[in-house]
Amino acid sequence: MTQIDDQGPPSAIDRALDLLTIAVTARRPLTLAELASEAGIPKPTAHRILRLLVARDLLRQTGDRSYCLGSKMFALSGEALAQLDYASEAKEGLRWLQTITPDAIHFGVMTGGAPVYVAKIEGRRPYRMASTIGTSLPVHCTSIGKAILAFMPPDQAEPYLQSRSLVGRTPHTITTPGALRQQFEEIRARGFAIDDEENEENVRCVGAPVFDARGDVIGGVSVSSATFDLSLDEALRLGPSVLTAAQRISAALGAPRAALSRLAALAAPGEGTTSGLARSDGPAPAEKA
């Protein structure tokens, strides 16, 4: 697994880090043979290193002698998450998207059951979107919110579809659980959601999901514009670029290879459909500068 450079073969530290990385990303206990094979090292060498990792409580052995994460790893991961600055980690992906579109760009993270803006890049239009960092968004009628719900496990998304929570914010807001479930299928198929004036009239948005190091959807990135500057066809054409930005941000957050590969495949040209558009993310209404 370790890439050997001009300075010589991998050290014991390299091999230990390889084994630890494999165990962290496996999502299930692995046997000695599996770990050694994946790391590309002899079983006796892997066994010696694994004994040290177990002694340090970074790994532990299960009843069938497989290896999984130890309590020290969970403590360290908690400390790492506590120090995670989502806005800073998303910066490169958001700046890349800024080179693609002249419209406003937002990054939102689920907080307390609703997406909250943690980063914004103003567009280059002669008006500004009246959105601010720290604003909480409706989850059922924003492109960020609907992208998040569509990529959540269904049992986690279902509580958000209670009819009393589906408040109509414009004449275009979808307020029936069945219609939203149908749109979630379409969002999953193409990878991004469209807010076609559902949250604010005269505002159209495109949003895509962002995943964290566990492979869970934790937020989304969106592009927002006045409808006269972003037609429905243009929003659909912009979708794959928003999805690529979401992939870049997910990579910065340490998302697993499977999640990144899924986003990359969806971002490929020609993916998705143009029917049954997912209406979703509108930051506040457009205001003239």
Q: Do residues 145 and 259 share a domain?
A: yes
With residue 105 as reference, give the H or E element that holds it.
strand 104-111
**Mean pLDDT computed over every residue of the chain:** 86
pLDDT tens string 14-73: 999 999 989 887 778 999 999 999 999 999 999 999 999 999 999 999 888 899 988 888
Picking from 81, 111, 132, the residue at the C-terminal end of a domain is: 81
Q: What is the amino acid identity at position 117?
A: Y
Interval 67-92 mean pLDDT: 80
pLDDT surpassing 90 at residue 112: no
Residue 5: inside a domain: no
Per-residue pLDDT, averaged over 153-179, amounts to 90
CATH number of the domain enclosing 60: 1.10.10.10
Query: Using an 8 Å Cβ cutoff, are 115 and 263 in contact?
Result: no
Q: What is the pTM of this model?
A: 0.71
- Distance from C-alpha of 137 to C-alpha of 117, rounded to nearest angstrom: 8
CATH code for the domain of 104: 3.30.450.40
Alpha-carbon span 236 to 103, nearest angstrom: 14
pLDDT at residue 92 tops 70: yes
- For the chain, how many structural domains are there in total? 2
Residues 6+ apart with CB under 8 A from 113: 139, 160
Domain-embedded: residue 7: no
Same domain for 232 and 272? yes
List, for residues 227-255, the tens digit of each pLDDT value. 999 999 999 999 999 999 999 999 999 89
Same domain, 237 and 256: yes
Q: Among 26, 54, 81, where does a domain finish?
A: 81
Looking at residue 286, its pLDDT comes to: 41
Q: 184-233 pLDDT, tens per residue?
A: 999 999 999 999 999 999 999 999 999 998 899 999 999 999 999 999 99
Q: Give the domain range for residue 42.
A: 12-81
- Phi/psi of residue 232, each to 5°? -65, -40
* Same domain flag for 219 and 259: yes
pLDDT number for residue 24: 82
Alpha carbon distance, N-terminus to C-terminus of the chain: 53
